[in-house]
């Protein structure tokens, strides 16, 4: 039997002081939900899903209800979950009527020969497999309506590079888990980037980019500016280096250096291998994270 491990992130960016407590509470609650699965002997896959569901339901994060709005004022959600034991994965992208896209992604993994569904096709698949659809308005909160209004006004006036700024929130959520049977899994969910073009996919739901898991290497979940992460297929890049014998913490730090040096990207990554060794790194001012093992719990918004 293997000692279980659960590692979570709730976004990497310049988290303001007045939002730190909400982020810490969010990752703490998510960890508690996932750990309940693991301590009962449940699978890493179930634990990762349960953890992400909690964060999708928490309006502090850019996932599920309360996510950033796209340029047209809608919520469009992406998610992926992957099983390290079988390499099976399920993802959904650009869904507008699913409150918990990670649950739809799990259905794709477990009940479809495919890996990925998008937009209306993803919603149809989800509904056919027992996941209720909701109105897009149900996912929108007043805070994000105002944020989009102010952002669009500022962007038009300043012509700033909107997507590369450390100050723009990247509250994508993710979890990696190791269960008592020695299997690992990863899950990532996001509402994407504020003011994104309708139909834009980021890294979070793309296999190997924002999420990856393989018992032969590691489970990984990333957060941050999606386009640079996609270009490097960063989650798979990191997992491969763990497979080559490098420690997850060293690999996580190197992944952030690679992201910055190669494509001027910023973000964060969490890594976990089947030996229970973890890695957490970010090249942003802060990252919301939490780690639970049989030895205890720790969390923070900076990881040195």
Residues 71/197, Cβ–Cβ less than 8 Å: yes
Q: Is 215 left (phi over 0), alpha (psi -120 to 50) or beta?
A: alpha
> How far apart (Å, rounded) are the C-alpha atoms in residues 16 and 57?
21
Q: Is position 293 annotated as part of the catalytic site?
A: no
CA distance readout (Å), 56 to 67, 105, 186:
9, 13, 15
What are the tokens at 53? 């569901």
Classify each residue of 9-46 as buried b or exposed e, where b means 16 or more C-beta atoms within 10 Å of its C-beta. Answer: bbbbbebeeebeeebbebbbbbbbbbbebbeeebbbbb
Q: Is 292 left (phi over 0), alpha (psi -120 to 50) or beta?
A: beta
| Catalytic-role residue among 31, 86, 167, 172 | 172
Q: How does DSSP assign 74-119, residue by residue?
A: ---EEEEEEETTT--EEEEEEESS-S-HHHHHHHHHHH-S-SEEEH
Greatest Cα pair distance in the chain: 59
Count of other CB atoms within 10 angstroms of residue 247: 16
Q: Give which of 202, 286, 205, 252 is closest to 22, Cα–Cα.
A: 286
* Neighbouring C-alpha atoms within 13 Å toward the C-beta of 55: 37
* Residues belonging to the active site: 172
């Amino acid at each position: 039997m293997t000692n279980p491990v659960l590692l979570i992130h709730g976004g990497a960016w310049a988290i303001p002081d007045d939002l730190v407590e909400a982020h810490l509470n969010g990752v703490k609650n998510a960890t508690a939900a996932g750990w309940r699965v693991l301590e009962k002997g449940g699978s890493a896959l179930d634990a990762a899903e349960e953890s992400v569901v909690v964060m999708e339901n928490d309006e502090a994060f850019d996932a599920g209800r309360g996510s950033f709005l796209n340029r047209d004022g809608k919520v469009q959600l992406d998610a992926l979950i992957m099983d390290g034991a079988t390499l099976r994965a399920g993802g959904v992208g650009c869904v507008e009527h699913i409150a918990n896209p990670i649950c739809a992604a799990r259905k794709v993994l477990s009940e479809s020969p495919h890996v990925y569904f998008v937009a209306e096709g993803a919603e149809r698949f989800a509904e056919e497999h027992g996941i209720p659809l909701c109105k897009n308005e149900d996912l929108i909160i007043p805070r994000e309506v105002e944020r989009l209004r102010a952002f669009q006004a500022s962007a038009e006036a300043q012509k700033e590079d909107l997507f590369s700024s450390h100050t723009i929130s990247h509250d994508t959520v993710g979890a990696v888990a190791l269960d008592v049977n020695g299997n690992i899994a990863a899950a990532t969910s996001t509402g994407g980037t504020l003011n994104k073009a309708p139909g834009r996919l980021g890294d979070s739901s793309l296999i190997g980019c924002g999420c990856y898991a393989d018992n032969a290497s590691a489970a990984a979940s990333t957060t941050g500016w999606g386009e640079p992460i996609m270009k490097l297929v960063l989650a798979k890049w990191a997992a491969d280096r763990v497979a080559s014998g490098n420690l997850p913490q060293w690999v996580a730090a190197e992944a952030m250096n690679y992201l910055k040096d190669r494509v001027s990207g910023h973000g964060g990554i969490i890594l976990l291998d089947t030996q229970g060794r973890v890695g957490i790194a970010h090249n942003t001012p802060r990252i919301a994270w939490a780690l639970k093992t049989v030895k205890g719990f720790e969390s923070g918004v900076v990881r040195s």
